[in-house]
Amino acid sequence: MDTIFALATAPGRAAIAVLRLSGPGSREMLAGLCGRLPTPRQASLRRLRDAKGAVLDEALVLWLPGPASYTGEDSAELHLHGGAAVVEGVGAALVALGARPAEAGEFTRRAVLNGRMDLTAAEGVIDLIEAETATQRRQALRLAGGGLAALSASWSDRLADLLARQEALIEFEDEGLPGALEREVAAGIEALAGEMAARLAGDVGGERVREGLSIAILGPPNAGKSSLLNALVGREAAIVSARAGTTRDVVEVRMVLAGLPVVLADTAGLREAADEVEAEGVRRALGRGEEADLVLALLPCDAPPDPATLALLARRPCLVVASKADFGGAGSGGMPAGGLAVSARTGAGMDELRRALEAEVARLAPGAGETLLARPRHRAAIRDALGWLAEASKAPLPELRADALREALRALGRLTGRVGAEEILDRVFAEFCIGK
């Protein structure tokens, strides 16, 4: 296997740049750069030189012999001065010694292949790197810390025990094994399937925590959608004008609500379009409303209830907002029960709206930060295992029941990468940055 290297810190001007090295040639390459190897896992100040003896930098060097390293291989870290010339010079010296630049996620991929972590823990690592909020951080730490792997291992152990008993019933069919054993296998399958199904139904919201939520603001032209977006995010993110139809395309702004990242979208006003451009804006607004996790439907208080917005309320649940509450008027009288009256201009009702939004976000992502099923493939693997357990329960022959139990075990193995890892490794590690 090649010896690889990469920056573990962000590129650009900085006080320190950390360069990581991993692979079978790490020992010789590190010795080639700094001469005598430092004591393992003890930072030492060394003068780094290239093959011609030219000084490249004076750096802190860590020698991390495998298998007790992040990748499970011989590894090293070079804590360099952060100048581009220093980093380029040390990189060129490593290439001359036989190393190559690492690909995205290659360090963590090697850790998985060398048994230092399972696939779910690797996914937790990338989620931790990308976490924007404390809630995302907590969920990523649970995943990276092996929470889902431990749960999967518990289920797999029970499945393996059930399979062993079923195989015994087949192998020793003529030995007069007690009938209670077959009943125990059937009861074990039912209990395990019930536990897995309960986890699948109860452990929800993890994907929304990781990916964030989308909220679309919809309503008629001049309903105050752009003003409301600006008031919620606390800055002039969207153009505000008294002229109807100012917003033609979707304007997106990121913010944090209830500890979760949210994309708030201002959209074109819903009405009969006057031209092709406005018609496209209305089409995109309706499309964003269909895709959004939550819709804020605005009914302005200075106008009668808008038919297009009322039709939207009939199609899907929305959080109804009576905008321009400082104007009063007919609109608020036609607002559905439970709507919130707000004024983006005066701030009236905005605190109540923020609390309502946070409550909706919490409802959409229950148990935020405490879930383990953070990706679609996690749920898919468990659903596949449940399907095979159902097949095992109704199998007419002992051999078919054993086959179904083996397939259930294989499905759980895909969860942690123990089975069929190559099928999903490329997809998982494509998300990683260089150097991790």
Q: Taking the model in full, what pTM does it have?
A: 0.77
Last residue of a domain, one of 364, 381, 397: 364
- Of residues 339 and 322, the one with the higher pLDDT is 322
Domain boundary residue, one of 364, 382, 408: 364
List the single range of 74-78, 190-194, 331-335 with lowest mean pLDDT.
331-335
Q: Tell me phi and psi for residue 115, to 5 degrees.
A: 75, 15
Mean pLDDT across 19-37: 94
Q: What does the alpha-carbon distance between residue 331 and residue 338 come to, in Å, rounded to a whole number?
A: 14
Write out the binding residues for GTP. 222-227, 241-247, 266-269, 343-345
Q: Percentage of residues in the chain with pLDDT exceeding 70? A: 85
Q: What is the pLDDT of residue 428?
A: 55
Residue 224 confidence (pLDDT): 84
Shared domain check, 160 and 194: yes
Predicted confidence band of residue 212 (pLDDT cuts 50, 70, 90): confident
Residues 137 and 252 in one domain: no
Q: Which two tokens stand for residue 154?
A: 């518990």
First CA to last CA across the chain, in angstroms?
17
Does residue 107 lie within any of the structural domains? no
We report the CATH number of the domain holding residue 283 as 3.40.50.300
**Are 354 and 278 contained in the same domain?**
yes
Same domain, 260 and 311: yes
CATH number for position 77? 3.30.1360.120
pLDDT at 242: 45
pLDDT at residue 345, as a whole number:
84
Based on the domain organization, do 276 and 334 belong to the same domain? yes
Known binding-site residues for Mg(2+) equal 226, 247
Residue 114 in any domain: the answer is no
408-424 residue pLDDT tens: 999 999 888 875 445 44
Examine the domain organization and report whether 230 and 359 are in the same domain: yes
Annotated binding site: 20, 77, 116, 222-227, 241-247, 266-269, 343-345, 436
Angle subtended by helix axes 106-113 and 422-429, to nearest 10: 150
How far apart are the C-alpha atoms of 65 and 231, rounded to whole Å?
A: 55
* Domain total of the chain: 3
Q: Which segments of 24-146 does DSSP mark as H helices, in order?
A: 26-34, 84-96, 106-113, 119-130, 134-144
Residue-number span of the structural domain to which 255 is assigned? 210-364
Q: Please give the annotated binding residues for (6S)-5-formyl-5,6,7,8-tetrahydrofolate, written as ranges.
A: 20, 77, 116, 436
